[in-house]
Amino acid sequence: MYLVINLALFALLIGFLFKQQKAEYTLSRQVFTGLGFGVIFGGALQLVYGDGSPVITDTLDYINIVGAGYVSLLKMIIMPLIMVSIIGAIIKVKDSGSLGKISGLSIGILLATTAASALIGILVSNLFGLSAEGIVQGAREIARGEVLETRLSSVESLSFADMIISFFPGNPFADLAGSRPTSTIAVVIFSAFIGVAGLSVIRNQPELGASFEKFINIAQEVVRTLVRMVLSLTPYGVLALMSKVVAGSNYDDILSLINFVTASYVGLALILVMHLVLVSFVGVNPVRYLKKILPVLTFAFTSRSSAGTIPLNVDTQVKKLGNGEGVANFSASFGATMGQNGCAGLYPAMLAVMIAPTIGINPLDPGFMLTLIAIVTISSFGIAGVGGGATFAALIVLSALDMPVALAGLLISIEPLIDMGRTAVNVSGAMTAGTITSRVLGQADSSLFDADDDSDNKPVNA
């Protein structure tokens, strides 16, 4: 009976969001309404039934159909979107030489901001006096530490050269199916080759080239329509995902590690401020910029999926920020798999600083700090080579510093809460790289950025 009541209340919230959509409220308003409803509904479940209640578990199983289903739909359109957008952008620009500039500048910005994020992690950890000493190890933490130690061998056996090799699309059809952690980058490279080959056909065989160009234009329009259809479901996905996070959180564990949680979010906030300062250097109004990207960051926060946010990331960069399609796709794709400011920059640096005193290392030693920043930056380039996001980033950094990786398991109880903020910052870093790259290369449409969102931000009622 309680399960039926809970699901009926959830259905009412869905109905309210649907009513907002029919009234053609802006997507931003719908997303934040879904976020607020999710917090209230999830908190109410915790308050009424208590933490760990079977009723909450059963309710979340059904609610997750909406949340996980929406994330799956987003992942469904990632590869088609990247492929047709990059091919179309190359054909439209008709300059294959710009590919090197776009990719080089995007990756350079991602790595530079990751290095800066690591420095922020070091400073914040020292400011809050974080240390792994004294943290209680329960059964979950010990088990997590054992799992991390078993995974260490696979990380240690993977060289930097192997990581780079994994980016190449040996089997593009398998990569289009997302068979590897590096499939996204592999599809980017494959699409770039197709685009360059298409340019050659257009130049050498104009009649065939015209047909190919028409085919790509049609494919782009079909995929764009598909993207709009899926993105129209964003408020419902945010509602379900946030309800699950709030209702499934253990608040006692959060309170016991509140110092680390607070330090993490202070560090993440500083990284976000850094992004806003960087875009202001290329003539972008940071306040307007933040307003336009907030719905994207909100979804990244609730979904905890940088890859799943790619469609919304690209759509916002192109339609709201005025970034070029090619730049938007390159930056969103690279930013989801390398140079992640939150997962691969801030987090491993904070863990290393926490663990350092337990093995007799002074975390304020300049040599240690410079070594840590260098390792974090280099390893962030190859996180995609092993998959697993922040966990593997921490494994690579801690093992490179000869630190006990099992201690990273101490934070498992608050991992979801921190991962939400980390993912939002990862996506912000990708959008920052795309915005700066577009402005520097002169591929930005300032009129789109300066336009108000009231009309453009309305979703398609599919």
**Residues written for the chain:** 462
pLDDT for 46: 87
Contacts of 159 (CB under 8 A, 6+ apart): none
- The long-range contacts involving 186-190, CB below 8 angstroms and separated by at least 24 positions, are 187/79, 187/82, 187/83, 187/333, 188/82, 188/86, 188/329, 188/330, 188/333, 188/334, 190/83
- Determine the Cα–Cα distance for residues 230 and 76; give it in Å rounded to an integer: 10
pLDDT for 389: 64
Q: How open is the CA angle 170-78-229, to the nearest 5 degrees?
A: 155
Contacts of 90 (CB under 8 A, 6+ apart): 96, 99, 192, 195, 196, 198, 199, 326
- Determine the Cα–Cα distance for residues 311 and 300; give it in Å rounded to an integer: 11
Q: What is the pTM of this model?
A: 0.81
Residue 398 phi, psi (nearest 5): -65, -40
- Determine the Cα–Cα distance for residues 324 and 328; give it in Å rounded to an integer: 6
DSSP-derived secondary structure letter, 307: T
Mean pLDDT of 368-393: 75
Q: For residue 314, which of 17, 93, 66, 79 has the smallest C-alpha distance?
A: 79
Using alpha carbons, list the distances in angstroms from residue 155 to 180, 290, 347, 352, 391: 16, 37, 18, 17, 11
Q: For residue 127, which of 301, 287, 263 has the smallest C-alpha distance?
A: 263
- Determine the Cα–Cα distance for residues 136 and 132; give it in Å rounded to an integer: 9
- Determine the Cα–Cα distance for residues 444 and 453; give it in Å rounded to an integer: 17
Mean pLDDT of 208-237: 90
- The long-range contacts involving 135-138, CB below 8 angstroms and separated by at least 24 positions, are 135/257, 135/410, 136/256, 137/410
Q: For residue 416, which of 254, 294, 266 has the smallest C-alpha distance?
A: 254
| pLDDT tens digit sequence for 53-84 | 899 999 999 999 999 998 899 888 888 988 88
Structure tokens at 452: 């108000």
| pLDDT tens digit sequence for 405-421 | 766 666 666 777 888 89
Whether the per-residue pLDDT at 462 is higher than 50: the answer is no
- Determine the Cα–Cα distance for residues 213 and 197; give it in Å rounded to an integer: 12
Ordered domains of the chain (ranges, CATH)? 2-450 (1.10.3860.10)
H/E segment holding residue 144: helix 139-156
pLDDT for 115: 94
pLDDT for 136: 46
Mean pLDDT of 311-316: 91
177-186 burial code (b ≥16 CB/10 A, e <16): ebebbbbbbb
Phi-psi region of 349 (alpha: psi -120 to 50; beta: other; left: phi over 0): alpha
User: What is the rounded end-to-end Cα distance, in angstroms, of the chain?
Assistant: 33
Amino acid at 67: G
Quickly state the pLDDT bin for 385 (edges 50, 70, 90). very low
59 neighbors 7 (Cβ within 8 angstroms) = yes
| pLDDT tens digit sequence for 135-156 | 545 445 455 555 555 655 555 5
Other beta carbons within 10 angstroms of residue 309's beta carbon come to: 29
Percentage of the chain modeled with pLDDT above 70: 86
Percentage of the chain modeled with pLDDT above 90: 36
Looking at every residue in the chain, the average pLDDT score rounds to: 84
Contacts of 227 (CB under 8 A, 6+ apart): 77, 81, 311, 315
320-353 burial code (b ≥16 CB/10 A, e <16): bbbbbbbbbbbbbbbbbbbbbbbbbbbbbbbbbb
Whether the per-residue pLDDT at 292 is higher than 80: the answer is yes
Structure tokens at 23: 């009234």
- Determine the Cα–Cα distance for residues 294 and 234; give it in Å rounded to an integer: 13
- Determine the Cα–Cα distance for residues 379 and 338; give it in Å rounded to an integer: 9
pLDDT for 129: 87
Other beta carbons within 10 angstroms of residue 54's beta carbon come to: 10
- Determine the Cα–Cα distance for residues 110 and 380; give it in Å rounded to an integer: 9
